[in-house]
Amino acid sequence: MSSPARTASEWPGKRLGLPESGPRSIGRIGRRIGALAIDWGIAVIISIAFFRYDAVATLAIFASTQVVFLLVINASIGHLVVGLRLVRLVGGYVGVWRPIARTLLLCLVIPAVIWDLDQRGMHDRLVGTMLVRR
């Protein structure tokens, strides 16, 4: 029985046919956390400005901006800043339901912290997407 662990000659995304680095390589954890921090920070600032910081409003703002930006430009503001974009695993248009379902799963947190060998969160695996470098 073979081990699912990655060997030294493999990198995240190799099994998916992606390059080790550069454009279209898997977005690594540093960029992903940076993008999340930027997006959450924007949601907090908007929440403070309009709702005197309300946790539910912050989450709603975060989710809304994720869905809108993923639908329109395949990347959130944070993704754009750190050089990432959302793509379908099989290529083509991301569609309408994928950004919505992905964002709902991301807001649940647990699916986003369960990763596979290609550093794709469960929220991306379930909807058939991945974050790649631009």
DSSP letters spanning 54-67: -HHHHHHHHHHHHH
Phi-psi region of 79 (alpha: psi -120 to 50; beta: other; left: phi over 0): alpha
Residue 123: its pLDDT value, please?
Answer: 94
φ, ψ for residue 12 (rounded to 5)?
-60, 125
Residue 1: its pLDDT value, please?
Answer: 44
Residue 2 has pLDDT above 60, yes or no: no
Residue 8: its pLDDT value, please?
Answer: 57
Boundaries of every domain in the chain: 23-133
CB 47 within 8 A of CB 89: no
pTM of the model: 0.88
pLDDT in tens, 54-89: 999 999 999 999 999 999 999 999 999 999 999 999
